[in-house]
Amino acid sequence: MAPIRTTPIALLPRRHAHLWRSISQEEAPVPVSGPAQTILTHISQYGACFFDELVDGCGLLRVQVENALAELVALGLVVSDSFAGLRALLIPSNERKPILSRARRRAAKTTIEDAGRWALVRRAAVPGTNNADAVEHVARTLLRRYGVVCWRILAREAAWLPPWRDLLRVYRRLEGQGEIRGGRFVAGFSGEQFALSDAIPILRQIRRDAMGGKTIAISGVDPLNLAGIVTPGEKLAAFAGNRVLYRDGIPIAFLSAGEIRFFETLGPADEWEARKLLRRSAAYAAPPPVPKLVASSS
């Protein structure tokens, strides 16, 4: 077992980890391989270790340590000091090259030797933590992320998050305390909606402004990839290689599995610009020149 490019990853402050862990689904312990167990025992005894320390202290080959760390990361048992370790583990094994010299190590973008220390993931509960605190933290996080929340937003989030009925109790209480606003801020959705006070003026400004044809392309893993959730049409899978192109907040094209699909007919110049935005390539071929009409003297 090892992490792959589609493995879900959560980025959060360490001080909030106990809140998210308290609402996540705890799975039954999974047996690990012999090298992985050796590394777990070594880290438990000596604390966080660098990659070279694990190789020397565990008596394993470097490739065995690397594969064992990949297994432990996939199981959520160990963590690295930096993103470099995860990036190195996500590189397919057939694309990894040994780093033999310092010069080649500096030239390499990601090496597991430079990933910092590896430590056990802390799973001890923080005293005083309860499920109500965790649900409120998630509710506030969703508000900060989207500005306006409704039950449809949860379709974009992880399935193990608290259900809407639990979040609704928090939002109603916060509304009663005057911290947030409740109402119908976005048309076309049933059920209650809640918004940050700072989001109200922005929504009003968007309503007053005329549609100017502004386009923006975002990654499929961006939280604003709400195509098919709060906008009409099909959904775009939340993969890093996918992209969605919005025009005035409406998706008009997808880049999925390397192919571009348009949902409306565009002119040649607009289609070229859309392809350039989706592919994000500075070397994209320039559009063909438009012939000019020149008056003849004959």
Average pLDDT of adjacent 10-residue blocks, the chain of 298 residues: 65 81 71 92 93 93 91 86 78 52 46 84 63 92 93 86 94 96 86 92 83 85 87 84 89 91 88 88 42 39
Q: What is the pLDDT of residue 76?
A: 82
Domains, the chain, with CATH or none:
14-120 (1.10.10), 131-208 (1.10.10), 215-279 (no CATH)
Whole-number Å distance between alpha carbons of 180 and 171: 8
Q: What is the pLDDT of residue 107?
A: 42
Q: What is the pLDDT of residue 172?
A: 96
Q: What is the pLDDT of residue 173?
A: 96
Q: What is the pLDDT of residue 257?
A: 86
Q: What is the pLDDT of residue 249?
A: 83
